[in-house]
Amino acid sequence: MPERTVAIASRSGLHARPAKIFVQAAQRLGIPVRISVGAKNVLATSMLGVLSLGATHGTVVTLSSDSDAALDELTAVLARDLDDE
Amino acid sequence: MSEKLTGIGVSPGVIAGPVARMAGPPALTGRSVLNVPEALSAVALQLRGRAAGEAEEILEAQIMMVEDPQLLEDAERLTAEGLDPARALDRAFSAHEKALLELGGYFAERAADVEDLRHRAVAAALGRPMPGLPEPGHPYILVADDLSPADTATLDSAVLAIVTRRGGPTSHTAILARARGIPAVVACPDAGLLADGDLVAVDGSLGSVRRGVTEREIDDIRDAFLATRARLRDGRGPGRTADGHAVPLMSNIGSAADPVGEEGVGLFRTEFLFLDRRTAPSLEEQEAAYAAVFSRGGKVVVRTLDAGTDKPLPFLGLAEEENPALGIRGLRVDRVLPEVLNTQLDAMVRAAAANPSAEVWVMAPMVTTWQEAAAFAARARARGVTRVGVMIEVPAAALMARELLEHVDFLSIGTNDLSQYTFAADRQHAGLADLLDPWQPALLRLVAACARAGLEMGKPVGVCGEAAGDPRLAPVLVGLGISSLSMSATSVPAVRESLAGVTLGQCRAAAAGVL
């Protein structure tokens, strides 16, 4: 399955507002995407799952999905500083 | 027949009305009447109905958690194994709470949100009222065990007063009630006796709740409350006693967005710049944030960063401690990370130089010895600070106030921490609220020692803790020799009126009486 790795660009990490923006973006895609940090691997559409990754600014996460387009889109979201939006 | 319950008054004002209780967390008893998806939908529906205004952002995230596909899958798997839906929901939410708590830091703070959702979902499944603010359809006295941040986010004008069984003078509920001007009594052990519809009068100054008031009395009390509020709102002018002794009434702020009264800022907390940061804010960023406050002119007392292992900030990278309140916090952070304070002092000096209409004083938190005070003063002056002070939060510092004042220009007493350290009582501990009462004579004796040292040395000694905003305590503090009081801007009018009604001689007599 195709994968992408990306470092969390948001200053506050994948938490609060940035987590919400990311999960909403994943939900809009309607295509299964998983996000993982180390051994933790969760649905990108799961707010509770994404929070449980504990990803902070600079944490490298891996996205995996059958859809390259979905991966590109979500990688781009994580590479932005979502605290500024 | 009337009957009085007592607690601790944390937000002044007298008001009366009918009680409406907040439903507490549901007991996991009986069988569910809704299945898992139905219960979760009911919670989401309820939250959607409330998501408006400032609370919208918070509640939107909550709704996403309730509609979480992973949570639904987990809970449905448990019901497929034969578990009752309420218990399945309880277990599925609990697993997520635990995961967040294990992460620590600000992820752990979200665990309380998940816990709140768990209670709501369990209640919905069992067909019981969901915990949360009641909606009786008329103004009411809110009675609760304690209030969660999500509850306080949805407080509206229908809440006449707040009475809680738990909580203390410095709890979240108390601070919010004061900021909103809602009379409040916390740590009221018998709050559980109050039932929906009981007519009660709440005195947020005395900390009393009187049961058995009549409809007629309610109208009279409400009229008086509204009249008082209007009169206080129209009050103006500097703080002074009836015989003209001036006591500047200043404001505590946490950023340029907070309201400021007429007599300047007595405590400008700078933590807001550092929250949620992986790296320290730059000199330029800090300078701009301080300038936003200084540009309004007037006196501003800025406090250097008050964080540490008790209030962890990611960028400090401090190791966890067994007893964070007794560890590396406040000025003690400087022992391990001196650059943080240097940058902060430089940014303050630059912002002050660019805003000459502001009179900028700078003070350090959690100073313990005169040597620390002297070292801080020398460093601040060398970097260009003109008026240097320290906070008195540790009994050791209060006992040596005179020696501290040989090295600094002023003292500011933080009564919340001074209570905590004098009484060996965690300021967030609901069961110890009586020890944290600012009327405790031992606390007031330490305040008196500082004030006396200030009078002897001819240097100002202010109070900037929550005690400064208590209109009954203010005359006592003035009588002890305190020269200025700093509080949230909404507390200023009541304190101004209280001081205007007494002479300095009466203040001194009141002070002598409580020591």
Pairing label, strands B3-6, B8-11: unpaired
| Interchain CB distance below 8 Å, B70 and A42 | yes
Token pair of A50 as six digits: 């994404």
Instruction: Please report which helix (H) or strand (E) contains residue B462, including its range.
Output: strand B461-463
| Interchain CB distance below 8 Å, B61 and A52 | no
Position with higher pLDDT, B462 vs B515: B462
The winner for highest mean pLDDT among A76-85, B84-93, B124-133, B489-498 is B84-93
Arithmetic mean of pLDDT, B331-348: 93
Pairing label, strands B265-269, B249-253: parallel
Q: What band does B456 get if pLDDT is binned at 50, 70 and 90?
A: very high
Q: Which residues of B touch A42 (CB under 8 A)?
A: 70
| Interchain CB distance below 8 Å, A48 and B68 | yes
Q: What band does B254 get if pLDDT is binned at 50, 70 and 90?
A: confident
Contact (Cβ atoms closer than 8 angstroms) between residue B18 and residue B140: yes
Chain B residues with CB under 8 Å of a chain A CB are: 57, 60-61, 64-65, 68-71, 96, 99-100, 103, 106-107, 110, 114, 276-278, 314
Q: What is the pLDDT of residue B1?
A: 46
Give B154's DSSP letter: T
Arithmetic mean of pLDDT, B394-407: 98
**CA B418 – CA B391 distance, rounded (Å):** 10
- Mean per-residue pLDDT of chain B: 89
Token pair of B407 as six digits: 């090295």
Which residue in the set A16, A48, A54 is minimally distant from B70, CB to CB?
A48
**Residues paired with residue B387 on neighbouring β-strands, in sequence order:** B361
Token pair of B83 as six digits: 């578990």
B239 has a pLDDT exceeding 70: yes
Q: Which residues of A touch B278 (CB under 8 A)?
A: 11, 13, 56-58
Q: Select from B110, B273, B282 the residue whose CB has the most chain A CBs within 10 Å, as the one to mutate to test that interface.
A: B110
B245 has a pLDDT exceeding 50: yes
Q: How are strands ordered across the β-sheet holding B3-6? A: B3-6, B208-211, B199-203, B14-21, B140-144, B159-164, B184-186, B8-11
Contact (Cβ atoms closer than 8 angstroms) between residue B50 and residue B66: no
Q: What percent of chain A has pLDDT over 70?
A: 98
B307 has a pLDDT exceeding 50: yes
B54 has a pLDDT exceeding 60: no
Q: What is the pLDDT of residue B156?
A: 79
Q: What percent of chain B has pLDDT over 90?
A: 60
B148 has a pLDDT exceeding 70: no
- Mean per-residue pLDDT of chain A: 91
Helices H, strands E: what count in chain A? 3, 4
Q: Which residues of B touch A13 (CB under 8 A)?
A: 278
Q: Name the minimum distance, in Å, from the CA of B119 to any CA of chain A.
A: 16
Position with higher pLDDT, A16 vs A80: A80
**CA B164 – CA B10 distance, rounded (Å):** 11
**CA B296 – CA B272 distance, rounded (Å):** 19
**CA B365 – CA B331 distance, rounded (Å):** 6
Arithmetic mean of pLDDT, B453-475: 93
**How far apart, in Å, are the Cα atoms of B172 and each of A49, B186, B269?**
28, 11, 17
| Interchain CB distance below 8 Å, B277 and A11 | yes
Q: Which residues of B touch A10 (CB under 8 A)?
A: none
**CA B183 – CA A6 distance, rounded (Å):** 50
Does the active-site annotation cover B96?
no
pLDDT tens per residue, range A41-69: 999 999 999 999 999 888 999 999 999 99
**Residues paired with residue B359 on neighbouring β-strands, in sequence order:** B299
Arithmetic mean of pLDDT, B178-202: 90
| Interchain CB distance below 8 Å, A57 and B68 | no
Position with higher pLDDT, B235 vs B409: B409
Which residue in the set A51, A57, A58 is minimally distant from B110, CB to CB?
A51
Residue B343 CB burial class (10 angstroms; 0-12, 13-18, ≥19): middle
Position with higher pLDDT, B432 vs B301: B301
Which residue in the set B57, B65, B278 is minimally distant from A57, CB to CB?
B278
Residue of A nearest to B281 (CA): A11
Q: Which residues of B touch A56 (CB under 8 A)?
A: 278, 314
- CB within 8 Å of B408: residues ≥ 6 apart: B373, B376, B377, B388, B389, B390, B459
